[in-house]
Amino acid sequence: MNASESPSMENKTVVITGANTGIGLATAEALAASGARIIAACRNLEKGRSALERIAQKATGPKPELVALDLSNLASVRGASEKIATLTDAIDVLINNAGLILPRRQTSADGYEMQFATNHLGHFLLTKRLLPLIKQAEQGRIINLSSGAHWGGSIHFDDLMLEKRYGAFRSYGQTKLANILFTRALARRLSDTPITVNAVHPGFVRSNFAADRSKDNHQPLIMRLIAFAAVTPEVGAETSVYLAGSPEGGSVSGEYFAKSRIAPSSKASRDTEIAERLWKVSEDLVGEKFEA
């Protein structure tokens, strides 16, 4: 199945982070074209408003809506979740799509390493905050974008914020592994509910996410080479669209998908002990207990 063949999403409410560009925008357009009501949660509101116009042109259902969300800032995550709760009584699909990679180490407003704050902690807290609305859906779905980069990742519990040794891909691999560990830990906690939770590798996609917060707009050579060989955002969106609307997306939970199929993942991504340790650390860092 590709994005243009997605089942009807009529009367479904979908929240997508980072829906203003790249994979997130392509995902929003495809699901809006299938009838979904899109709530786009974006950091850059200027780009978000422009994206909303594009999404609205494809929409066959309700008009899309925009919510301000900076995933690296926990106060912004809390504010966005409160705003979303005023817009809808139920969320059918939450797609934790946004992400970034930075060539140089930066810190968030809360003092955390920026990639870890944005790619993992922000989505961890947002999901926790939106879970009551997801539980109100007939069959809620949570989709977390990870990456094949998780294969080279480790959770550096002795230096989680990479203050001693930072590398763009060292950080990125850690966060993408964290996305899968979070997916599987949450799926276990929700196993007695109709909610499914799955992780996605979208492929290497043409996107500007690597330079989004870089002050000098510098990209490492390897990122430029990856961009040259990358697939389009529309192709990258296909697995998220598939899991949002397909019967399999509503019956399978705790898995890692690529090209709309369950795919192998690293040994570390299947380590329950690491997942549970990361879960507790994440709760401590966001300052909230995740009651699933």
Distance from C-alpha of 69 to C-alpha of 148, rounded to nearest angstrom: 26
112, 172, 242, 256: the active-site residue: 172
Report strand pairing: 256-258 vs 261-262.
antiparallel
Do 197 and 216 meet the contact criterion of CB atoms below 8 Å apart? no
Determine how many CB atoms are found less than 10 A away from the CB of residue 95: 29
**The residue to which tokens 């519990």 are assigned:** 157
166 is known as an active-site residue: no
Distance from C-alpha of 75 to C-alpha of 14, rounded to nearest angstrom: 22
C-alpha gyration radius of the chain: 17
Give 145's strand partners. Answer: 200
Determine how many CB atoms are found less than 10 A away from the CB of residue 53: 9
CA 166 to each of CA 114, 116, 161: distance values in angstroms, whole numbers, following the listed order: 11, 12, 8
Do 204 and 235 meet the contact criterion of CB atoms below 8 Å apart? no
For the annotated catalytic residues, the residue numbers are 172
